[in-house]
Amino acid sequence: MDTRTNEEWLVALREPGPERQAALADLQRLLVRGLSFALNTFDDVRDSDLDDFSQVAVLKIVDALDTFRGESRFLTWATKIAVRVAYTELRRARWRDVPLQTTVDTPDGEFIPQIYLSSAPGPEQVTLQRDVVTALNQAIAEDLTDKQRQALVAVVLQGMPLEEVARRMDSNRNALYKLLHDARQRLRRRLLERGLSAEEILDAFADGETENANEAAFGGKR
């Protein structure tokens, strides 16, 4: 049970020596317990995973001690960091065996963002969807570089975490942001040249959560 005050945690974790080692061990043990509750809906999380997540979290917590403002209990603050670490690691694991170049294809080989399609579009929306998809296929095939196409498919259409895509492309988060920004700009220009506005694109695929996905893909309404 956690009996330390906020100040006692901070002092123990900052001062080298046996007290610090004991505090680190206690912190990891308590984080494992907290993560077991936070992740109890994940059937594939093992005890060894909880240990790994808590070890990574302890390092981050120690590095972030100066940012703790004391607005909550120290352990509550630390557990939130551990949960974020766990979710990040679980997302990475989800995509570990997924080829980066995997795309969403139709049987005839066209690239179509299936996750954007409205579940029950009307006749006018179907026509608009076809126009947008045709223009999008052409723009992705002709206007994007191989790296831009790879990044856009992985991040926007497959939902792969930015950090994982950057790692696989031997890049970094900032460079990937720039790559995606340039890709979106190229797609937007091509679609505008074909007479399709950003609003029409969103209207074509708007259906609850899919509207938010399109705003992310095309940089929001203009």
**Domain limits, CATH 1.10.10, in the chain:** 114-218
pLDDT for position 32 = 95
**Domain limits, CATH 1.10.1740.10, in the chain:** 6-94
pLDDT for position 221 = 42
pTM of the complete model beyond 0.75: no
pLDDT for position 139 = 81
Over the stretch 86-107, which tens digit does the pLDDT of each residue have?
987 887 776 665 555 544 443 3
Rounded Cα gap, residues 33 and 35, in angstroms: 5
105 strand-pairing partners = 111
111 strand-pairing partners = 105
**Residues lower than pLDDT 70 in the chain:** 1, 94-129, 131, 157-158, 196-222
Rounded Cα gap, residues 222 and 220, in angstroms: 6
Q: Decide: 65 and 15 in contact? Cβ < 8 Å.
A: no
pLDDT for position 199 = 60
Eight-class DSSP state of 114: G
pLDDT for position 219 = 47
Maximum Cα–Cα distance across the chain: 72
Angle at 87 between CA 210 and CA 66, to 5 degrees: 120
Angle at 203 between CA 124 and CA 161, to 5 degrees: 130
**114-218 belongs to CATH 1.10.3470:** no
Q: Find tokens 């259906």 and name the residue.
A: 207
pLDDT for position 200 = 58
1.10.1740.10, 3.40.50.300, 3.40.50.2020, 3.30.300.10: which CATH number matches 6-94? 1.10.1740.10
Q: Decide: 68 and 5 in contact? Cβ < 8 Å.
A: no
SS (H, E, C) 20-73: HHHHHHHHHHHHHHHHHHHCCCCCCCCHHHHHHHHHHHHHHHHHCHHHCCCCCC
